[in-house]
A and B are shown apart, each in its own frame.
Chain A
């Protein structure tokens, strides 16, 4: 492909990138822009009323209105003509005002529709992106894109671009009207304006860097503030108040200095550009006076020109400002595309929804992240029958969580096969799979709503008794009744912060609402005390006899009750069997058991032994 074609393709993409968000709302934009252009034309007509009054009525020049219209409107005397001009002016203003309102409303409808589409598209995209995307993405950055970048685009199409249209047409129409009155005078009235425009563009290009610096300095100061407030316990306990105050003062001063520098630049620009603008006025006025005195233009023309200059110099400065400020939008759109153009994890997903009963088999399963050199899991083989309980133990990083994530296709294994009732997991629809394989995570997420709704989220039709029952089984009911608002307590980011154990129990309760053939505890009893742990597991054994259960745990006491124990180390299964058989193997499991079971365990001794 030649570079020319490539370039063209890129340009087309830019155009597509820019316009795709407007889809379905073009008609609104078209209306808004057309009305806007009409309005600018109407606006440049207003000085002509003054011109007419002064030239025709007061100075007695020949009226430009055809005689028959004047007669028809009974405007045969100058007095009556003035009445006519006044009435027409009011009517004219009324039309202008109405169009103006419709223009603004259409504009708002357009902008808000676009923003609404963007927000919804981004949200549903984010939800459908794969789990590995989410593990690598930074929350703050994503939120920034979904809010600030959307706002940047919204402001660009809804305000900046509109403003550019407005200013260009206003200036264009004003120059047209001026030329019609006096070309020579038009030259005097616009001679400095290219300079105004260029100066404004250059200035705002240059000052952009400073704006960014100020923003960064402010951001740094805010971070210091927030950290100091959230870490106040540390600050106080270490008696570092003075240190924190000095640190903040330093950041605050840097921000002040940068902000002051920017202020100075601003003051120079606004003062300087006012100076230049008034020079333009002065030139026009001086030459206008000379021309009017010589009789080249009338006094009415002169006054009209003074009004038109106002329609050119201030808008030009504004236009320069906007042009200099552009460029942010394409950066924002690129950042948004990085989200939107990612493939959804449901793309090309299987549509099969075979029945899942509870037999799980791993055949030579291996997994590795693309950017990693070492596989996280390798040669994993095991079979679990319906209704069995399997415990998975191993150190952090041994691959336990990866194994679980593969089972619900949060990650996809590259090697081997995972089979649910002899169906390869890759031939099962993801949502279907997840609806039948329940996971309770170590750090479960609660939504910002009431506790009751958080439990009932799995089955919106569940009756109250069922919710209470699930909470009781999860040893949560008592805790909840202790809260001031009971089940109506709002939890999550915007509500009461629950303890880790309470969160885990909410997650368990919510899972219990709906029977599942396979249930996975991803270290999800770690923060509840041993007593509650036993209680929950006993209850589960009673209610969920037929469910295949996987339990990841650090507690050997939990693992030992399982039908099968799998010990993972560095991505491999190193031991597998029952509690008793593994104790005999004298391997990792036995070691863990020794550490945790010895009631009078003296770990100092162990240290010495290790050294």
Chain B
């Protein structure tokens, strides 16, 4: 289940440019749209004509007392029935397809864009925000552009059709009918907007309540131990009370809407009954005075047929404002230009981040060089300035330092999640911007501090994205990492479903699987963001061993938190404020008795204290 916050919708001004772009996406759906509109318009025409037939029956068959015309009448009726059945079917099929296919197109475009966007985009954009655009916004937009548009054309045509017919038949009665129109439109738009706003509020309240349940459930243990049940309940009651208040308020508007429309229609009906009745009293066909009974029926019937489209139109107009906001948000996502993207020349030769031209790829050895690299976040402070680093293929480099020292930035730059503001990063002696993102990432492995697994089996997770890898290879990787033992202990072994985000496994297990995944991918450059989360000593030992194994034969960068894991690194960089304070291997740095020595011994400070006491 996903819960996405209902964001604030501003009723924005009509923006033609946004709609024009959206319509360009609808080009392949033109056929469906036109057929749908065609069917709706024909239906509207039939709706207008249909009461005319009944009037004809009343005036020319019943009132003349001759059944001579009846067979013709029946034949005509049968044709109409078949047409209605067919048109309704066509209308639904095509309007529905416009909706389904448009949201398919939007999803597809947005999803592709999401994978083109650089990492920095995700630093700034909450997942909920993206999900809202991909789900509720695209749904809202495609609904209004399919059913909405087609309903709109049906409603407009029904109104126009009825208007024309009534004016032809009797302009005096037609004027009465027309007189109610502005009032109907006004009431409809007034209430629709009110109701829509009220529901928006309710949805917001609702997502707050969902959040409160979530908090109540996930925080149950804390609540119990702190004995906060009563207070939490009070808070919750405030939410549900407010929800009740808003819901009743919304229901009040909705409850006023239909009755008020009905009343307007009833007054019109009363006037038509009186006025039309009077005219029917004076009816004389030969003299052309008054109206027939059939005509009276016709007008009363049209009143009923008139308010449906008006209410429909008001509904669509009210929703259109919201759809505009949705359209802006989706377009905002689809049109975002990726800040990091290969040049056309590079794409020409190597392909881009999504489609590869492997045949042109050079082998990556793993030499990494930072050449006078300076890096600034978009509007932020300088994180690195004039940074230089030279790493030979196969070396392991440990990055040590406080939060904000620049460890993650260096890693992100190597991965080309960010690019240097100044200076160059060379891989195998060549600026990495001269080769494609796909080339780099295909040769790169990444093991995260908080491992991320995808739903699916353990097997699928280890062989992530490479369905052709034989099972034996997967077992081999898992055995090397020593994950095999715990995996086969599950009832389903490698076919065990890990759950959404790997929720059915422990952190330690997820960590080991992500190592196996990295090992199987066999990257030339490996990034390890070492785990800080507390795992027990046994699992920690397993993970350390796993690290040793994946390091072998690759260029490795380890962001280290626990210094005991990096003692065997070829080089340790102690960073502070984007600068290298010290560099060297463990023994050298310990001997130096500098920053590293201090950090290292700090981790055992309390023990040292105790020892000195004993001594």
Q: Is the CB of A90 within 8 A of B266?
A: yes
Most chain-B CB neighbours within 10 Å: which of A112, A144, A223, A595?
A112
Q: Which size bracket describes the interface of A in this complex?
A: 35 or more
Interface residue A448 (Cβ < 8 Å from any Cβ of B): yes
Contact indicator A293/B61 (Cβ below 8 Å): yes
A492 in contact with B215 (CB, 8 Å): yes
User: Which residues from chain A contact B537 at a C-beta distance below 8 Å?
Assistant: 395, 554, 592, 595-596
What separation, in Å, do the CA atoms of A531 and B455 have in the docked complex? 39
Q: Is B240 part of the binding interface, using a Cβ–Cβ cutoff of 8 Å?
A: yes
- Contact of A93 with B248 at beta-carbon distance under 8 Å, contacts A241-B354, A259-B100, A493-B211 already known: no
Residues on the B chain within 8 Å of A67, using CB: none
- Tell me, yes or no, whether A576 is within 8 Å of chain B by CB: no
> Are the C-beta atoms of A263 and B211 separated by less than 8 Å?
no
Q: A104–B244 contact, CB under 8 A?
A: no
| Cβ–Cβ contact A237 & B527, under 8 A | yes
Cross-chain contact B252 with A229 (CB below 8 angstroms): no
Query: In the assembly, what is the distance between CA of A293 and CA of B536, in Å?
Result: 95
Of B12-20, B81-89, B162-170, the segment with at least 4 beta carbons within 8 Å of chain A is B81-89
- What residue in chain B is nearest A140 (Cβ atoms)? B1
Q: Is the CB–CB distance between B217 and A126 below 8 Å?
A: yes
What's the least CB distance linking A212 to chain B, in Å?
16
- CB of B80 to closest CB in A, whole Å: 7
Complex CA gap A268/B297 in Å reads 32
- The answer to whether B271 touches A86 (Cβ under 8 A) is yes
A223 to B127, CA, bound (A): 12
* Residues of B contacting A: mostly: helix
Residue of B at shortest CB range from A239? B441
Q: Report chain A residues within 8 Å CB of B593.
A: none
Alpha-carbon distance between A225 and B333 when the two chains are bound, in angstroms:
15
With A222-B135, A527-B532 known to touch, is A139 a contact of B214 (CB < 8 Å)? yes
A-side contacts of B190, CB under 8 Å: none
Q: Is the CB of A168 closer than 8 A to any CB of chain B?
A: no
Residues of B within 8 A of A533 (CB): 606
B89 touches A268 (CB 8 A): yes
- Identify the stretch in B149-157, B309-317, B442-450 within 8 Å (CB) of chain A at 4 or more residues: B442-450
Known contacts A395-B537, A560-B610; A86 and B270 CB within 8 A of each other: yes
Give complex CA distance A271, B501 in Å.
44
Q: From the candidates A126, A270, A442, A592, name the one contacting B89 in the complex (CB within 8 A).
A: A270
B263 at interface, CB cutoff 8 A: yes
Asked if A97 and B262 sit within 8 Å, CB to CB, the answer is: yes
C-alpha gap A494/B128 in the complex (Å):
11
Q: A93-B262, A256-B101 are in contact. Are A278 and B527 (CB under 8 A)?
A: no
Q: Does A406 contact B (CB under 8 A)?
A: no
B218 at the interface (CB under 8 A from A): yes
**Is B219 interfacial (CB 8 A cutoff)?**
yes
CB proximity of B245 to chain A, nearest CB, Å: 9
Known: A94-B263, A396-B536. A299 touches B293 (CB 8 A): yes
Q: How far is the CA of A230 from the CA of B603 in the complex (A)?
A: 33
Contact present for A127 and B270 (CB under 8 Å):
no
Is B23 in the interface zone, CB < 8 Å from A? no
Also in contact, A58 and B293, with CB within 8 A (given A86-B270, A434-B225, A530-B605):
yes
> What's the least CB distance linking A597 to chain B, in Å?
6
B97 touches A263 (CB 8 A): yes
CA distance A122 to B108 in the complex (A): 40
Find out whether the CB atom of B54 lies under 8 angstroms from the CB atom of A306: yes
A127, A244, A299 — which one has the most chain B CB atoms within 10 A of its CB?
A: A127
- Identify the closest chain B residue to A244 (Cβ): B115
Would you call A382 an interface residue if the criterion is a C-beta within 8 Å of the partner chain's C-beta atoms?
no
Q: Does B365 contact A (CB under 8 A)?
A: no
Instruction: Determine if A104 and B254 form an interchain contact, defined as CB atoms under 8 angstroms apart.
Output: yes
Mask, A556-571, CB within 8 Å of B = 1, is 1110110000000000
Task: Determine whether B27 belongs to the interface, using a CB cutoff of 8 Å to chain A.
Answer: no
**A226, A237, A253, A603 — which one has the most chain B CB atoms within 10 A of its CB?**
A237
The answer to whether the Cβ of A100 comes within 8 Å of any Cβ in the partner chain is: yes
Interface residues of A in 63-103 (CB under 8 A from B): 78-79, 82-83, 85-87, 89-90, 92-94, 96-98, 100-101
Does A431 count as interface, using CB distance less than 8 angstroms?
yes
A275 CA to B364 CA in the complex, in Å? 69
A595: nearest chain-B partner, CB-CB: B537
C-alpha spacing A282/B76, complex, angstroms: 10
Question: Is the CB–CB distance between B270 and A134 below 8 Å?
Answer: no
Q: Is the CB of B1 within 8 A of A434?
A: no
Partner of B74, one of A120, A226, A286, A599: A286
A559 to chain B, nearest CB (A): 11
From B108, B252, B278, B293, A82 is in contact (CB under 8 Å) with B278
B490 contacts the other chain (CB 8 A)? no
Q: How far is the CA of A286 from the CA of B130 in the complex (A)?
A: 59
Query: A279-314 CB contact bits vs B (8 Å, 1 = yes)?
Result: 100100110011011000001101100100000000
A131: Cβ under 8 A from any B Cβ: yes
Q: Is B438 an interface residue (CB 8 A)?
A: yes
From A534, which residue of chain B is reached at the shortest CB distance?
B606
Q: Does A50 contact B (CB under 8 A)?
A: yes
Q: When A100-B258, A554-B536, A557-B604 are in contact, do A271 and B541 touch as well, CB less than 8 Å?
A: no
Separation of A444 and B90 alpha carbons in the complex (Å): 58
Whether the pair B353, A239 counts as a contact (CB closer than 8 A) is yes
A603/B544 contact (C-beta < 8 A), A127-B223, A241-B354 known: yes
Contact A143 B215 (CB under 8 A): no
Known: A58-B280, A554-B537. A457 touches B226 (CB 8 A): yes
In this complex, how many residues of chain B approach chain A with their Cβ under 8 Å: the count is 158
Counting chain B CB atoms within 10 Å of each CB, the highest count among A447, A494, A558 belongs to: A447
- Contact A89 B273, beta carbon cutoff 8 Å: yes
Evaluate contact between A108 and B251: CB separation under 8 angstroms: yes
**A225 contacts B108, CB within 8 Å?**
no
Question: B376 within 8 Å of A by Cβ?
Answer: no
The reply on B224 being an interface residue by CB < 8 A is: yes
Say yes or no: A286 contacts B604, CB within 8 Å.
no
| A408 CB to nearest chain B CB (Å) | 6
A108 touches B248 (CB 8 A): yes
Q: Which residues of A contact B501 (CB under 8 A)?
A: 227, 230-231
Q: Is A441 close to B, CB under 8 A?
A: yes
Contact of B224 among A234, A434, A531 (CB under 8 A): A434
CA distance A42 to B226 in the complex (A): 59
Q: Which of B62, B356, B536, B605 contacts A292 (CB 8 A)?
A: B62
| CB contact between B221 and one of A233, A441, A493 (< 8 Å): that residue | A441
B347 on interface, CB distance cutoff 8 Å = no
Given the interface pairs A271-B86, A299-B58, A303-B58, the reply to whether A527 lies near B213 with Cβ below 8 Å is no
Q: CB-nearest residue of chain B relative to A59?
A: B293
Contact with A along B78-106 (1 / 0, CB 8 A): 10111011111110110011001100100
B81 / chain A contacts, CB cutoff of 8 Å: 275, 278-279, 282
> Beyond A303-B58, A530-B605, is A434–B215 a contact (Cβ under 8 Å)?
no
Partner of B84, one of A104, A278, A289, A303: A278
In the complex, whether B553 has a CB less than 8 A from a CB of chain A is: no
Is A190 an interface residue when CB atoms closer than 8 A count as contact? no
Contacts of A111 in B (CB 8 A): 247, 251
- Among B62, B254, B354, contact of A289 (Cβ-Cβ < 8 Å): B62
Is A202 on the interface with B (CB-CB < 8 A)?
no
Q: Does A54 contact B (CB under 8 A)?
A: yes
Q: Which residue of chain B has the shortest Cβ distance to A393 in the bound complex? A: B537
Q: Establish whether residues B538 and A123, one from each chain, have CB atoms under 8 Å apart when the complex forms.
A: no
The 8 A CB mask of B420-464 against A (1 = contact, 0 = none) is: 000000000000000001101110111010001111000000001
Q: What residues on B are CB-neighbors of A222 within 8 Å?
A: 2, 131, 135
Instruction: Report yes or no: B115 in contact with A235, Cβ–Cβ below 8 A.
Output: yes
Cβ of A36 < 8 Å from any Cβ of B? Answer: no
Residue among B134, B270, B539 having the largest count of chain A Cβ atoms under 10 Å: B270
Q: Name 6 interchain pairs, CB-CB below 8 A, sorted by A.
A: A93-B267, A96-B259, A144-B1, A147-B213, A445-B223, A597-B607
The 4 lowest CB-CB distance pairs between A and B, nearest first, are: A271-B89, A108-B251, A93-B266, A104-B255
Q: A90-B266, A112-B248, A120-B233 are in contact. List 9 more A-B contacts (CB 8 A).
A: A82-B274, A93-B262, A93-B270, A108-B248, A112-B247, A223-B500, A232-B122, A263-B97, A279-B81
